[in-house]
Structure 1
Amino acid sequence: MDYLYHPYQSKRHTVFARKGMVTTSQPLAANAGLEIMQKGGNAIDAAIATAAALTVVEPTSNGIGGDAFALVWVKDKLYGLNASGPAPATLTPEAVKVLGHDKMPVHGMVPITVPGAPAAWAELSQRFGKLPLKEVLAPAIRYAEEGYPLTPILAKYWGFAYKKYKELFTGDEFKAWFDTFAPNGRAPEVGEMWSSPGHAKTLRAIAATDARDFYEGEIANQIDTYMKKYGGFLSKEDLAAYKPEWVEPISVNYKGYDVWEIPPNGHGMVALMALNIYKKQSKPQWQSVQALHEQIESMKLAFTDGKAFITEEADMPVETAHLLSEEYAEKRSALIGDEALDPQVYDLPKGGTVYLATADEEGNMVSFIQSNYMGFGSGIVVPGTGIGLQNRGHDFSLEEGHPNVLKPGKRTYHTIIPGFLSKDGQAVGPFGVMGGYMQPQGHYQVVLNTVDFLLNPQATLDVPRWQWMAGKKVVVEPEFPNHLVQALIRKGHDITVAADGGSFGRGQIIWRDPVTGVLQGGTESRTDGAIAVW
């Protein structure tokens, strides 16, 4: 890919390598993936090793008790894995309302859904890996047993979580969280060592049984016992019934590039819908107010519809294919004028996350994301296991008739999404931007900066970001050019400049040169990002 030079100065340089590359938000996790690759593993093994290590070295964003999604390029074909877990069999709107809730709570036992991450590791290993899971998870087990020193951004968010949870988590069911993540009566600090023997024990059991112990063995029994003790809904029967789903990735073509996402229940299609709408607009110019205005308007229309319609595909009131169609894009694009819109839901036709990318010299590439949601997740940790359980069920609606209404066995609207780019049937590479509802907006901005403005991977990630929130409200990073802020305000946008870049996502990119096979990677400057190369 040829790049133009722009006046924007990147904070880091793009990294190049030939034999292998791992990009993620934590240096030790990136090194874990590279270590496995150097021992004979491929990009899939490296992705699993990195993901497992991230549950240890970045527990503020993910854990063993979370979900995962992956896009995997192997032998000129892209595969999709949906490892998000469903609601427990006994979790119904009526049961939640009996407990006194009029909407799904954020923390505690109620929003816990079946964790999919361990099953994702095993599924990827069995289908595409070269090394046994025991060997692949060894670095993560070592970090958990021996400990590691906290990096600056990790310590920052760990401290924020501790202060918040100290006020919120007063029940006995939360005691194990403090025992595990604040063993000295406080959050660990920058450079301080932290270890988790229980986490190591759990990872070892997952490695030895290809994750079956987590879903059918002793770990499943421990989870079940703790849930029953405090009135939780997740059971060993729910765990035993779980299996990840291989899915066909969805895509749109944006100016010659195929942009790929996982289909619903994830909201990756919001990025695709926005790209389809935006390409109907005027020819973009770098850092022009008109281009930014049209980008924001396209995203707000796509996201308004995504929030209204996305859930399990079988429950969606409109087909995915229609939302990705030219007909839909034309109708939505026609609404964009010179002033900011207050978006309304499309008139239907009648009838807290970690991201990583890996690549190897064989041509395999992986785009992988996993999360406990909202930082540490539910706040529920199974004692002695290091397993922090996710609160993904918080996104369910309790409103009868809503597409994303809670149902037993149903997977909710999901915010974590991996992305992938290809051109003319060849892989360009994996990319992702974690961060809740920022994720499709981050994907969208990555594609625009890469395809329209020809920025290299690192510059693409370093460009100041914007985030549409609701209505006409848009938040921009502190470094966002003030003259553009003022011009967007004149177009009717309600612009707020954020105090820091913490809510604008954390991204990783790996692109491959189709001729030489040389890899080029960018990592996130907003966190402790790292690129491990070979």
Structure 2
Amino acid sequence: MSSTTSSRSRFDWSVTDPAHNPEFMRFSSRRSTVMGTKGMVACSQPLAASAGIEVLNQGGNAADAAVAVAAALNVTEPCNTGIGGDAFCLFYDAKAKKVRAFNGSGRAPKAMTLDRLREAGISGKEIPGNSLHSVTVPGAASAWVDTVEKLGSGKVSLSDVLAPAIRLAENGHPIHESTAYLWGRSEKLIKAASPNAEEMLLKGKAPKAGEIMRMPNLARTFRELATKGKEGFYKGRIAEEIVSLIKSQGGLMELGDLEAHFERGTEEVTPISYTYNHPAEAGDLEGKEGVTVYECPPNGQGLTALLALGILDELQDEGKVGDLARIPHNSAEYLHALIEALRIAFVDTRYFVADPDHSRDVVDALLSKDYLRERAKLFDPKKAAVDLVNGSPANTCDTVYFSVTDGEGNACSFINSNYAGFGTAAVPKGCGFTLQNRGAGFVLEEGHPNCVAPGKRPYHTIIPAMALRGDELFLSYGVMGGFMQPQGHVQVLLSMLHHGFSVQDALDAPRFCIGPGMQGPEGKQSDVSLELGIDPKVVEELRAMGHNVNLVDGWSRFQFGRGQMIQKVINPDGKLVWAAGSDLRADGQAVAQV
């Protein structure tokens, strides 16, 4: 690490210089870290990144630009996101040096009970994702409006923020490669989901790469939101079409459910955090300045990442694993420690994470020193654990994530999702978007913390993240994709902290993805997917330890998530520089404001 680099930035400027780093071009994406001194957008779609830059150039801040990106992604990647879904947001206020959090998730209809679902013929452990019973009230529209109103610069209006997306939807845009693949994979689902499938198709088919897709009905929806605010979505034409479609298939949602969300608005919540105490990097093995990772609280699963980091802290404190900075990156020893810590974390969070309005708050108990020490005892350095069950803390693919920063030092870590791809893929007539299936995240088991109930929010997979050193921003980042998200948060962060990776290197590195924390059949361990690029010897070593490993390549690499990262750096001259990376597993890029 350069001796002139700020100890707070922890950025190795020589990593970008081939003369000092012979492995400069080692990463498989052949992408360089993108740097700028003003605003920055890192997202999964180039046209959406341009929308964010446009709003920054008009005087908007990171929050304003984030909503512009969210709306543009609804147009360019409806296979992953949309106004018919939910959103979560973390915002770093550079003046106040404070992280704020918004929970933009919707609730189940007030008429929805476990008994009503059973009467409707839903007999399994969860609501099927193609059933309109799985539609919860879409929270994204409210989250977009509230983000601009409560966090924005005040220099741009909601109409200004939505203008690029409206233009894209109305004039048309070329479909990019990974979006074309995901859209094509869902063509049959779209056609079967509602009578209005044509609104999401091009001449009756999923659009192919390079074809121009126009979405005039979505443009109309955005205009109503822009001119009428939240009322334009949760009351009137759009709300009526949502309810009409759901009720036509036996669903329980009423106009009152949407109106209640309008009255309530997006909930500002207190972010949860954990300070990871082993942040030593390559070249700075004695460094002990903690890195505090921030997540949104339950009903989101961000707690999983914090719990895993806490367990890894305990394992290193107790010597059950060596200093992760001294263990080779993606070696069997390194991967085993991360896999097991995350598996233990998932076992707890998949049970305890639920709507805090309907269950007890377990965050402090799960992250307590005593409880982390107890859970770390489950770790065996030689073999994979089996038959894990949730502990008792009281007693001891398919989302878009993006990050935006601005010239004032603010950062917005934002995530928006339909849940599974197009969600239900059902299109309210004349609205141009699909309805989410987030209600499939409920558990249909009486007494379970996450059991469905009237007006309850389900377990949510989507989680934005931030990391601070002291009260200074270090990273605004996230890795989208179902239960991969907390796993991605841990992997990319530790690649930087322990092995000196740049943000782009951290995103490029091959990743693992475990099943969501449960043991497999007959006492066997759940599967661990490894991305092609991990050493074959490591694969065999992990199998010998009892991990059910499978190698994944091609389009299936979507399961490893699609991350975006922006790092705050103080350069050798004391100037602020944003360093950004964008995942090679998506169509996107990082773009700097000029």
Distance 1:258 1:32 in 2: 31
What corresponds to 2:270 in structure 1?
248
Of the candidates 564, 575, 587, which is equivalent to residue 516 of structure 1? 575
Provide Cα deviations, 1:367-422, integer angstroms capped at 9, x if missing partner. Answer: 00000010000121101111211000011112101110000100000000000011
Aligned: 1:360 with 2:406:
yes
Asked if the contact 2:34–2:591 (Cα under 8 Å) also holds between the matched residues in 1, the reply is no
Asked if the contact 2:90–2:99 (Cα under 8 Å) also holds between the matched residues in 1, the reply is yes
Of the candidates 23, 27, 36, which is equivalent to residue 9 of structure 1? 27
1:6–1:348 CA distance, 2 compared to 1 (3 A): farther
Identity of aligned residues (%): 40
Q: What pairs with 1:8-87 in structure 2 (closer than 5 Å)?
A: 9-11=27-29, 12-74=31-93, 75=95, 76-87=97-108
What corresponds to 2:120 in structure 1?
99
What corresponds to 1:298 in structure 2?
341
Of the candidates 493, 498, 505, which is equivalent to residue 561 of structure 2? 505
Aligned: 1:258 with 2:283:
no
Asked if the contact 1:318–1:348 (Cα under 8 Å) also holds between the matched residues in 2, the reply is no
What corresponds to 2:328 in structure 1?
286
Of the candidates 176, 183, 194, which is equivalent to residue 158 of structure 1? 183
Q: How far off its partner does 1:163 sit?
A: 4.2
1:116–1:184 CA distance, 2 compared to 1 (3 A): same
Asked if the contact 1:64–1:117 (Cα under 8 Å) also holds between the matched residues in 2, the reply is yes
Provide Cα deviations, 1:40-96, integer angstroms capped at 9, x if missing partner. Answer: 111111001000111111000011100000000112111000000000111111111
Provide Cα deviations, 1:285-339, integer angstroms capped at 9, x if missing partner. Answer: 1223212111111010001111111101244466210111111211111221111
Letter in 2 for 1:531: A
Distance 2:129 2:479 in 1: 23
Aligned: 1:331 with 2:374:
yes
Distance 1:164 1:123 in 2: 32
Q: Secondary structure at the match of 1:388?
A: coil
Q: TM-score, normalised by structure 1?
A: 0.96
1:315–1:344 CA distance, 2 compared to 1 (3 A): farther
What corresponds to 2:163 in structure 1?
138
Q: Secondary structure at the match of 1:295?
A: helix
Q: Secondary structure at the match of 1:488?
A: helix
Asked if the contact 1:248–1:262 (Cα under 8 Å) also holds between the matched residues in 2, the reply is yes
Q: What pairs with 1:191-202 in structure 2 (closer than 5 Å)?
A: 191-202=210-221
Distance 1:315 1:323 in 2: 18
1:180–1:78 CA distance, 2 compared to 1 (3 A): same
Q: Secondary structure at the match of 1:382?
A: coil
What corresponds to 1:271 in structure 2?
305
Asked if the contact 1:304–1:343 (Cα under 8 Å) also holds between the matched residues in 2, the reply is no
Q: Secondary structure at the match of 2:559?
A: coil
Asked if the contact 2:190–2:426 (Cα under 8 Å) also holds between the matched residues in 1, the reply is no
Letter in 2 for 1:155: A
What corresponds to 1:529 in structure 2?
588
Letter in 2 for 1:324: L
Letter in 2 for 1:73: Y
Q: How far off its partner does 1:516 sit?
A: 1.7
Distance 2:336 2:109 in 1: 43
Of the candidates 201, 215, 218, which is equivalent to residue 182 of structure 1? 201
Distance 1:478 1:247 in 2: 39
Provide Cα deviations, 1:6-48, integer angstroms capped at 9, x if missing partner. Answer: 9653521110001110010000000000011011111111001
Q: How far off its partner does 1:158 sit?
A: 0.6
Distance 2:360 2:270 in 1: 20
Distance 2:66 2:173 in 1: 20
**After alignment, is 224-233 or 367-376 more displaced?**
224-233
Q: What pairs with 1:209-228 in structure 2 (closer than 5 Å)?
A: 209-228=228-247
What corresponds to 1:124 in structure 2?
147
Aligned: 1:391 with 2:437:
yes
Number of residue pairs matched? Answer: 528
What corresponds to 1:346 in structure 2?
390
Asked if the contact 1:61–1:354 (Cα under 8 Å) also holds between the matched residues in 2, the reply is yes
Asked if the contact 2:42–2:591 (Cα under 8 Å) also holds between the matched residues in 1, the reply is yes
Of the candidates 466, 469, 484, which is equivalent to residue 538 of structure 2? 484
Asked if the contact 2:484–2:513 (Cα under 8 Å) also holds between the matched residues in 1, the reply is yes
Provide Cα deviations, 1:222-267, integer angstroms capped at 9, x if missing partner. Answer: 2233333333222221111112100011111113100010000000
Letter in 2 for 1:334: K
Distance 1:196 1:108 in 2: 25
Provide Cα deviations, 1:134-157, integer angstroms capped at 9, x if missing partner. Answer: 111000000110010000111011
Q: How far off its partner does 1:423 sit?
A: 0.3
**After alignment, is 354-363 or 462-471 more displaced?**
462-471
Letter in 1 for 2:121: G
Distance 2:200 2:583 in 1: 25
Q: Secondary structure at the match of 1:70?
A: strand
Distance 2:569 2:387 in 1: 40
Q: What pairs with 1:340-489 in structure 2 (closer than 5 Å)?
A: 340-349=384-393, 352-469=398-515, 470-471=518-519, 472=525, 473-489=527-543
Q: How far off its partner does 1:468 sit?
A: 1.1
Asked if the contact 1:301–1:343 (Cα under 8 Å) also holds between the matched residues in 2, the reply is no
1:59–1:6 CA distance, 2 compared to 1 (3 A): farther
1:146–1:165 CA distance, 2 compared to 1 (3 A): closer
Letter in 2 for 1:505: G
Letter in 1 for 2:143: A
Distance 1:251 1:10 in 2: 33
Q: TM-score, normalised by structure 2?
A: 0.86
Q: Any gaps of 5 or more consecutive residues in structure 2?
A: 1-9, 16-20, 278-289, 316-321, 520-524
Q: How far off its partner does 1:343 sit?
A: 4.5
Asked if the contact 2:301–2:349 (Cα under 8 Å) also holds between the matched residues in 1, the reply is yes
Asked if the contact 2:202–2:213 (Cα under 8 Å) also holds between the matched residues in 1, the reply is no
Distance 1:18 1:184 in 2: 44
Q: Secondary structure at the match of 1:508?
A: strand
Letter in 1 for 2:590: I
Q: How far off its partner does 1:346 sit?
A: 3.1
Letter in 1 for 2:422: F
Distance 2:467 2:167 in 1: 34
Letter in 2 for 1:512: K
Distance 2:207 2:166 in 1: 20
Provide Cα deviations, 1:485-515, integer angstroms capped at 9, x if missing partner. Answer: 1111121111111133121100000011144
Distance 2:359 2:346 in 1: 15
